[in-house]
């Protein structure tokens, strides 16, 4: 079986992305869903091990948390978003995004 790959990514409005996939399908995801599912160790560990100062800084940047500044490809298997609050260490594999998109409820 071939691995799923994104062939094209488009920005829709300020809060949504669309993906055209190698299997011929198209899907959508909100930036909120994407950011809330960041796979990096920092995001998946929650507030464990963070000082109060680190938690305060993280919370103070919340308004830019869902602002997407840039997308960078990682090889031919993933991409890495650069967020408005400076967060840039989450690497999303194509299959992860494909699954997130399938679970996304589209609001038109």
Span 49-97, pLDDT tens digits? 666 766 666 666 677 889 999 999 999 999 999 999 889 999 999 999 9
pLDDT band at 1 (very low <50, low <70, confident <90, very high): very low
The answer as to whether 81 is a domain residue is yes
CATH number for the domain including 84?
3.30.2020.30
Give the separation between CA 13 and CA 28, rounded to whole angstroms. Answer: 12
| pTM value > 0.85 | no
Whether 92 maps to a domain, the answer reads yes
Question: In total, how many domains does the chain have?
Answer: 1
Domain with 80 in it = 6-103
Give 13-56 pLDDT, tens digit per residue: 889 999 999 999 999 999 999 999 999 988 887 666 666 766 66
């Amino acid at each position: 079986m071939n691995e799923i790959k994104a062939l094209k990514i488009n920005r829709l409005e300020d809060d949504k992305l669309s993906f055209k996939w190698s299997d011929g399908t198209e899907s959508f995801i909100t930036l909120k869903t994407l950011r809330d599912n960041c796979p990096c160790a920092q995001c998946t560990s929650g507030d464990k091990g963070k000082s109060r100062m680190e938690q305060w800084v993280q919370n103070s940047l919340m308004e830019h948390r869902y602002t997407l500044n840039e997308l960078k490809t990682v090889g031919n298997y993933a991409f890495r978003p650069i967020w408005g609050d400076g967060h840039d260490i989450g690497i999303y594999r194509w299959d992860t995004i494909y699954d997130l998109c399938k679970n996304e409820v589209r609001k038109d």
